[in-house]
Amino acid sequence: MVGLLVLLVAFTRLHAAAGTDAAAATANAVALQSIERGLHLGVERGANHWLAGHLLLSHLAVYFYRLYYLAIAGVLLWVYLRHAAVYRHVRRTMVAMLLLILPVYWAVPMSPPRFALPGVVDIVALYDLFGDASTDTTNGQNHYSAMPSLHVGWSLWCAYAAWTALRPARPRLALLPWLFPLLMAATVLTTGNHYVLDIAGSVVLLLAAVAAALLWHRLVASGGVRPATPDGGAPAVAGPGATPDSGAPAVAGPGATPDSGAPAVAGPGVPPKVRRRWRPSLRSRPGRRGWGGG
């Protein structure tokens, strides 16, 4: 858990430093808008104007947009404490997302619709909980990382983690967490923070992260790690004299006894252990008292 927190802090720093070229980000946004028009997906302006006409929904959208970090922390802690069997997999999925998304932000900076699409109302800036954090490009945040949407990406991870934990015992309840990324997709689209293709990019990011986590698991499982002995020690190399039914294998030399209760280590200079053959004593011979002779 501590290592994951350190990685998240490092990711925050690298994300803030990635793709800060405003001109390149605007050019990439214009190209993306052209692709969306060709695919008839350019709905950002209309959806944004609809939300701007509903004051209460606008406030709720801003709260939802800003406070979703609490959901990420809560899901991570819940899986860690209550569903330890799947924690390692969902943690690896999160790490894979962090590692996969950073090169994209560095290589393809992208201005959000509120910056690059004329007529879009910056709803988060109007009702923000953190003042002018949404518009201040000098506050150390990365405002040019629209592709893919990190808000949608993290909400998809939350839904996937909860679905993975709940599916074995409660398959119907496991479908409920997927409402979270659907609501987040609607929020980022209507507030002017992301394009439709940004949301599609987040879905691709999650699928790639899950595939990377599964591949990671297979590599660890087939990495040639030798299992430990039942008592916690490392496995030993058994020689010709080791007993197959002993608790742990041992290295035996020429002088080790093959029928002893426990394996022994013997060399040429150690005499073999001689087992004495049982012979009846005088008291236990027939005709003596105690042998049935009276």
Residue 137 has pLDDT above 90, yes or no: no
pLDDT at 211: 96
Looking at residue 293, its pLDDT comes to 43
In contact, 266 and 276? CB cutoff 8 Å:
no
Contact 271, 257 (CB under 8 A): no
* Mean predicted confidence (pLDDT) in 255-282: 51
Q: What pLDDT shows up at residue 236?
A: 47
Average confidence (pLDDT) over 54-65: 95
* pLDDT(258) > 50: no
Mean pLDDT (whole number) for 271-290: 52
Q: Note the pLDDT tens digit of each residue in 210-237.
A: 999 999 989 888 874 444 444 444 444 4
66 has pLDDT over 60 = yes
SS (H, E, C) 149-184: CHHHHHHHHHHHHHHHHHCCCCCCHHHHHHHHHHHH
- What mean pLDDT do residues 79-85 have? 93
Percent of the chain with pLDDT over 70: 72
- Whether the pLDDT of residue 12 is over 70: the answer is yes
Is 50 exceeded by the pLDDT of residue 119? yes
Rounded Cα distance between 193 and 148, Å, is: 11
Which residues have CB under 8 Å from 111's CB, separation 6+? 22, 25, 26, 28, 29, 143, 144, 146
* Predicted pLDDT of residue 225: 44
DSSP string, the chain: -HHHHHHHHHHHHHHHHS---HHHHHHHHHHHHHHHHHTT---HHHHHHHHHT-HHHHHHHHHHHHTHHHHHHHHHHHHHHH-HHHHHHHHHHHHHHHHHHHHHHHH--B--HHHHSTT---HHHHS-TTTTTTT-TTSS----B-SS-HHHHHHHHHHHHHHHHHTTT-TTGGGGGGHHHHHHHHHHHHTTS--HHHHHHHHHHHHHHHHHHHHHHHHHHTS-PPPPPTTSS------TT--TTSSS-----TT--TTSSS-----TTSPPPPPPPP---GGGSTTSTTTT--
Q: Are 121 and 192 in contact (CB under 8 A)?
A: yes
- Rounded to the nearest integer, the mean pLDDT of the chain is 81
Q: Does the global pTM surpass 0.85?
A: no
Return the pLDDT at 50.
97
- For residue range 153-207, list pLDDT tens digits in order: 999 999 999 999 999 999 999 999 999 999 999 999 999 999 999 999 999 999 9
